[in-house]
Amino acid sequence: MPPSETFILVVHARSARLDGEALVKAIRSRARDLHLTVQAPYDPEAIRKALTETGAPRAFLLIAGPADIDAQIRALAEAHPGVCLVAVEPRADRIRLEVPQLGLDGLVSLLRSMPATSLGGKGMAERIAHVAIALAEGNQENQADTRDGIITDWLDATLRLHIARSRVADDEKLPGLTLSAATADRLLAQRRGRSAEIAPDLLLDMHAQAEARLTKSLDAEEEEVTRLTRLARRIRLDSIEVKALLLCLAPELDPTYQRVYGLLNDDLSRRSATLGLVASVLGEPATMRHRLATLGGLARWRLVEPHHDAALAADHTLRVDAAIAAWLIEDRPLAAADPRFSGWLHAGSWGGSELVDGWPETERLAGLLGDAAPGFIVLGGSTPAADEWCAIAEAAAQRQDRELLRVVPPSSTPSGSADPSEAAARIARAARLLDLVPAIVPDGHGADPGTAIALLEGLARQPGFAESGPVLLLADPGPFAAALAPGRYIVLARAPTAMPARVDMLRNAASRHGVGLAKAGAERLAAVFPLASAAISNAAELATALAAAEDANTRAEEPHLARALRSIAMPRLPQFARPIEPAFSLKQIKLPEEQSAQLREIVEQCRHAGTVLDRWGFGAQLPYGRGVAALFSGPSGTGKTMAAQAIARALGTELFQVDLARVVSKYIGETEKNLDVVFDEAERAGVVLLCDEADALFGKRGEVRDAHDRYANLETAYLLQRLEAFAGLAVLTSNLRQNIDSAFLRRLRFVVEFPRPDAAAREYIWHQCLHGAPRSDDVNELAIRVLARRLELTGGNIRQITLRAAFAAAAEGKGDKAAITLDHLVEAARAELVKLGMPGVETALAALSRAA
């Protein structure tokens, strides 16, 4: 505080609880730059003289005395609104504060910051000294709040002056009417603990000073002094509109104003401002009403409800928009305060911006956001990697020290929700007030863009749109071109994220979250998981949590990151496909050398897809069909599903089997939508997609005889297109290859025929199925060889026989002595052959027993 300002202490009485000299000494020892004027005992004239001579904008009055002196000092404070009054009652162990400039929040913060000393004797003096110094120095941060004394002082002074001017004589009052404008005046006075009786000249002086303080606050050099100042400047409200807004806001600030308005409206049930009341309070009613009839900027920016374009009636109730009131009073997020837009506006970031900060697209977009050029910036175009624009937009806004306002207009507006024109006004308002960059993301792939188009048209019609800065649209510009208007938008397109960039993002995210990841591991994961930066960043954080779940001291490594990437990439896939843990390896699959070589080739093509397609440029020759699709055909039980598991295990990924019961729907178009989710998420997660009994989905198209045939053919045609565009590994299995539509064969990179196993293969399968199981002496190499030669079964049948024999042995045996005997195998084989309807069962089994 400058030395020229005076800090006035008034000590009326000395008591055991309050030592005036000790108080003065304590303040001087802690704030030597303050000029102290001590008045003891209390002398009103001396105080007025001191205030006049020093011209101090702020004074601190300490009173200890009877109630009449309290009343006198309050009257003095009303005449000098810049005075902060602190009354100390010697018989009460408390300090009563009345601080017009500090505000409730500032006062609470101030009290919390005071030292926890005792209230008696010298302790009270020290505590009061702390309060005094804080008040004298001024707390500008707290004074910046819109709930401070600047607004409430102006409201009190303005309303009291209005009441004084409109007060009627006693003989003009209606008989028996006990409540009047005088009651409202007393309520306003009591709200601040002031005297209801105040001279007219002091009332005019108090109003003039309150007006001056409000004007000074609105004209402050720093734009961010108060939220009210920001509102007035960014929305360009004139002084009358600001005052009208404050009068409408008053009932939200203090319930006392609600009672006052009820009295002034001559209707205690009408506790809000009306157009007629606001016009009367602000000046000549006819003039003010003409200016406020359509509410001007208050209506255009939806600051006051209702906001009709037509003239309002004088008794129309006016209320401040709920979102604006919550922002001004509670500093709640402006965009999220209106429940009607809970599905439209989203707080928080998309994430991943730190991974794209140095990209050329980020630099260019940051430059556009910093320019004064108005209009829309369309991000994405027809790029399939449009999701990456989210992180780029976030990073570009951060470069300009701005934030994004994420807007997701629904495909349709349900009854009761806000319409697009209302949403546009509030989005533009929030963007102006908080310096936000609206980023509009239409809801859903292929959804009706009608709501988004109406929103864009509404934004383009907003007043001052050309000065509000760019609006981002993350979508294909085609459907929105008419709404954007020629010359009002720029389209930025980008190619899909290349493999080296994905590798760099993975390594960067892993480094930021402490995940151990070598370059080779990053290349493997980047080839399997073509995810956007936000998903990669989230996966790195999830990987650390997965590692900590195993052991608090375990560092996350590549397997943890792979699990996290897979989990994030497929949130909906488990709804339509069943995960299968790969239990077999390629070595366990017994096939002829040609088929085994095909399985190994499938694995190698998946592993080296990044090298061949991206680094060597072969991907340019495949505008679609970058994935691997294979058909495994053959009799049941020949190992088709086992081979799919072995391939998934070799690739270090999971296998998901399509659940036809969940995918296929009786509703037209639902099956295609479900399959689209399956293919999309399997591609992002890098899992192997298995479609067992594929002829159920990929069957031949037939002649169209009715509507059912037509839509069945449509499903097949869709699958043809979607399978060709699939960039992952899809394995189709079928027992009846001839039932698969021939058009699928061109789109299949591999067709592997699984033959029935020969004798040597069957012997290998018998050994594999009995490996590790307790066997009696008669189940030897010779017996197994005979079983393999005599029983021409598939691997699936052999597994069923050994499993049945094992259960029979366990049921007959006793504890550790239980073992599988040849009789168990023969009996199990008899049951399996009967189930298969194979002829000559008894003959084959008799020969088998003799041979064994």
Segment among 187-201, 623-637, 647-661 with least mean pLDDT: 187-201
Of the two residues 236 and 295, the one the predictor is more confident about is 236
Q: Where are the domains of the chain?
A: 6-142, 149-169+178-330, 339-493, 499-569, 586-753, 759-851
Give the pLDDT confidence of 638-694 residue by residue, as tens digits. 999 999 999 999 988 889 999 988 988 888 888 888 989 999 899 888 899 999 888
539-565: average pLDDT? 90
Quote the mean pLDDT of the chain. Answer: 77
Class of domain 759-851: mainly alpha
Residues in a beta bridge with 97: 86
The answer to whether 37 and 49 are in contact (CB under 8 A) is no
What tokens does 497 get?
């994220």
User: Quick check: 620 pLDDT over 60?
Assistant: yes
The answer to whether 265 and 274 are in contact (CB under 8 A) is yes
Check residue 115 and give its pLDDT: 44
Give the pLDDT confidence of 399-450 residue by residue, as tens digits. 988 888 888 887 765 544 567 888 888 888 888 888 888 999 886 555 568 8
Segment among 69-78, 184-193, 710-719 with least mean pLDDT: 69-78
Q: What is the pTM of this model?
A: 0.67
The band of 714, judged by pLDDT with boundaries at 50, 70 and 90, is confident
The band of 738, judged by pLDDT with boundaries at 50, 70 and 90, is confident
Structural domain 6-142, CATH architecture: 3-Layer(aba) Sandwich (3.40)
User: Quick check: 149 pLDDT over 90?
Assistant: no
The band of 110, judged by pLDDT with boundaries at 50, 70 and 90, is very low
Report the range out of 178-187, 305-314, 345-354, 646-655 with the highest average pLDDT.
646-655
Can you spell out the DSSP letters for 452-521?
Answer: HHHHHHHHHTSTTGGGS--EEEEE-SGGGHHHH-TTSEEEEE-PPPPHHHHHHHHHHHHHHTT----HHH
Hey, do 499-569 and 586-753 end up sharing a CATH topology, with the first three levels equal? no
Closest C-alpha among 754, 720, 554 to residue 642:
754
CA 155 to chain centre: 38
The band of 16, judged by pLDDT with boundaries at 50, 70 and 90, is very low
Class of domain 339-493: alpha beta
Give the pLDDT confidence of 449-475 residue by residue, as tens digits. 888 888 888 888 887 776 667 888 888
The band of 13, judged by pLDDT with boundaries at 50, 70 and 90, is very low
Of the two residues 60 and 760, the one the predictor is more confident about is 760
Check residue 93 and give its pLDDT: 43
Closest C-alpha among 842, 805, 838, 843 to residue 823:
805
Check residue 97 and give its pLDDT: 45
User: Quick check: 802 pLDDT over 90?
Assistant: yes
Check residue 748 and give its pLDDT: 85
Cα distance between residue 553 and residue 555, in whole Å: 6
Closest C-alpha among 508, 727, 524 to residue 611:
524
Residue whose structure tokens are 């002056």: 161
522-527: average pLDDT? 87
Cα distance between residue 541 and residue 545, in whole Å: 7
Residues in a beta bridge with 304: 320
Check residue 144 and give its pLDDT: 35
Its sign, for the CA torsion 248, 254, 255, 260, is negative
Class of domain 499-569: mainly alpha
The band of 2, judged by pLDDT with boundaries at 50, 70 and 90, is very low
Check residue 718 and give its pLDDT: 81
The band of 624, judged by pLDDT with boundaries at 50, 70 and 90, is low
What tokens does 719 get?
């699958």
The band of 766, judged by pLDDT with boundaries at 50, 70 and 90, is very high
Check residue 403 and give its pLDDT: 87
> CATH topology for 586-753?
Rossmann fold (3.40.50)
